Amino acid sequence: MSDTHTIRLHRVLRAPPERVFRAFTQADAFARWLPPFGFTAQVFELDVRVGGRWRMAFTNFSSGGSHSFGGTYRVVEPGSKLSYTSAFDDPNLPGEMVTTVTLEAVSCGTSATFEQSGIPAMIPPEMCYLGWQESLLQLAQLVEPDIPG
């Protein structure tokens, strides 16, 4: 049995790649859409540049329990690609994950692919997929409205 696993997702968003990319690089936006349903988030650090660090925590709204995590940026190509590492502060969730987001302009907005590798085996892949699906729904709700002004 592998110590880690990888998940891949795809979503088409009705927003330009630059707006989708911005949702990953502004702390308030990142905290707004990334936590899955039932969680809040707090961003402590977000230095979006190759070698820059990021840190945040998710808090379970029902129980109040939280977990913090963070990492460094490996690739930062505005409007097209972002890759960053993640590690949990909890020693029971060891290892380093890598998330890569690729954005491509398409006729109706942005084709976005997501890959997260190095996920600790104790986190079931179906739970990762579920959490990401919830997060991507919230991402769409953030970036798709085109509100003038």
Superfamily of domain 4-143: START domain (3.30.530.20)
pLDDT in tens, 103-116: 999 999 999 999 99
Q: Write out pLDDT tens, residues 4-57.
A: 999 999 999 999 999 999 999 999 999 999 999 999 999 999 999 999 999 999
> Which token pair is 112?
């976005």
Contact 113, 6 (CB under 8 A): no
